[in-house]
Amino acid sequence: MITRKEKRELEKDKNYFLEFIKIKNHFFKELDDRLKKVKDHRHQSYIRYETDILLLMVLLKNICSLKSMNKMTNGFNKDECIENIKTVLEVDDLEEIPHYDTINDFLSELETEELESIRTYMIKELLKKRSFDDYRLEKKYWCIIFDGTGLFKFNERHCEHCLKRVYNKGTEKERTVYMHHVLEAKLLIGGMVLSIGSEFIENESEDVEKQDCEMRAFHRLAEKIKNTYKRLPICILGDSLYACEPVFERCDKYGWAYLLSFKEGSIKSVALEFEKIKGIEKTEHLPVDKTDPDGDKICWVNDISYNNRTVNMLEFNTEVEVKKDGKKELEKRTYLYITNIRITKRKAMELLDFGRRRWKIENEGFNNQKNIRYDIEHANSHNYNAIKNHYLLTQLADIMMQLYENGSKIFKVLKKAAHAISKDLLEALRREIITDDMLRNVKPMQVRFCFE
């Protein structure tokens, strides 16, 4: 256990913003140049700031956990901030930071493909790092978690792309809620979940007969990922919504593996066959922990026929602590997974481990982005295109922040919470000036990741 005095010594003379820039430059050497090359579709006579400055402002807003554009403008209104941005981007003529209205005008006309291409560059740079190879499933598959989430709700139609849901239809209490949702694909690397693709679930117009949905968005997003990462060996992770024939077909077509949560109602014939084979063959339930034969157990069945293919099932039996009538007690739970990866005694535990990590996109992905650091449910603009670009910039910032948090040695010792790390970054950006010499004299660094 580290003492408070030792913590003070560790943080003495530590410039957290400089440490962040070191991590950013270590992994993404071309990022600043790519931000500068983004096309600006505004009228040329209105342009005062280059695109790299406008985009960096929003990235910094996110990493410093400033929850609104107004807070960004006020929070960065310091001479030290201006000097640091000038140094990082190597510009000489920045006298004031851009106002949030200027940034939103720019994002309103920015094509989302521009930011998606920057994210692709970032992910491909990480995939090149051999240090991440050990976090693949079976030392082969890169696991991608698919899951959808809601972003915004309105009592009135926000735009023609809104989804809508009617409550208490046909009654006096009938009301319509308008929404924007997104399907996210997260690359699972150890304890990190990094955005590799986003697909907005949106209607083409107000008068569509059938609304867009998560499954339609999945097929669009899967096609994008396949076209972008043609040879990448992928295993998709998802909840029971994805345990269906259309997803299996697409995975077969692309040569992808899948490891999906399964409920009996998902595919009844497979569930019945699984139970039947278990009974006939008296499939053994193996203990997860060899030292605790009465604890959690797993079993599996391979080669269950389904629609001209075979699938494999993995079962995990455990006990979880629940509260009933104010008292804690243990409750038995069974979790099922369906996969096209053949299960063996050697592979079973690894598959179970990756299958259970699907919740990371909810706990460490959406929960962190909604409630802890970025507040992605706050609309930073009224313009729908700007809203989407704000969301994509949050994903870029989150990639860098996860690398910063998990790759910096000091955080492994201090174990700071996410909001404290962002607060330290903001304070450093506002109070401590980075010089050109500091950046030039940065020594080559090794970043080691160790996830529990």
Other CB atoms within 10 A of residue 342 CB? 11
Write the pLDDT tens digit of every residue in 252-289: 999 999 999 999 788 999 999 999 998 887 677 788 87
CB–CB of 157/206 below 8 Å? yes
Q: What is the pLDDT of residue 286?
A: 80
Write the pLDDT tens digit of every residue in 363-399: 667 788 888 888 888 889 999 999 999 999 999 999 9
Mean pLDDT of the residues in the chain: 90
Report the percentage of the chain scoring pLDDT > 90: 65
Phi, psi angles (nearest 5°) of residue 31: -60, -45
The encoded tokens of residue 15 equal 């410039």
Mean pLDDT by 10 residues, the chain (452 residues): 81 88 93 95 84 96 94 93 93 90 95 97 92 92 94 90 90 91 94 94 90 96 98 96 96 97 90 89 75 83 94 92 82 93 93 85 74 86 95 96 89 85 94 88 75 63
How much is the pTM? Answer: 0.92
CB–CB of 160/205 below 8 Å? yes
Query: What are the sequence ranges of the domains in the chain?
Result: 4-112+384-440, 141-368
- Show Cβ contacts of residue 265 under 8 Å, excluding neighbours closer than 6 positions: 271
Q: What is the pLDDT of residue 37?
A: 96
Phi, psi angles (nearest 5°) of residue 335: -120, 135
Q: Which CATH number fits domain 141-368: 3.40.50.300, 3.90.350.10, 3.30.70.260, 2.60.120.960?
A: 3.90.350.10
3-state secondary structure the chain: CCCHHHHHHHHCCCCHHHHHHHHHHHHCCCHHHHHHCCCCCCCHHHCCCCHHHHHHHHHHHHHCCCCCHHHHHHHCCCHHHHHHHHHHHCCCCCCCCCCHHHHHHHHHHCCHHHHHHHHHHHHHHHHHCHHHHHHCECCCEEEEEEEEEEEEEECCCCCCCCEEEEECCCCCCCEEEEEEEEEEEEEEECCEEEEEEEEEECCCCCCCCCCCCHHHHHHHHHHHHHHHCCCCCEEEEECHHHCCHHHHHHHHHHCCEEEEEECCCCCHHHHHHHHHHHHHHCCCCEECCCCCCCCCEEEEEEEEEECCEEEEEEEEEEEEEEEECCEEEEEEEEEEEEECCCCCHHHHHHHHHHHHHHHHHHHHHHHHHHHHCCCCCCCCCCCHHHHHHHHHHHHHHHHHHHHHHHHCHHHHHHCCCHHHHHHHHHHHHHHCCCCHHHHHCCCCCCCCCCCC
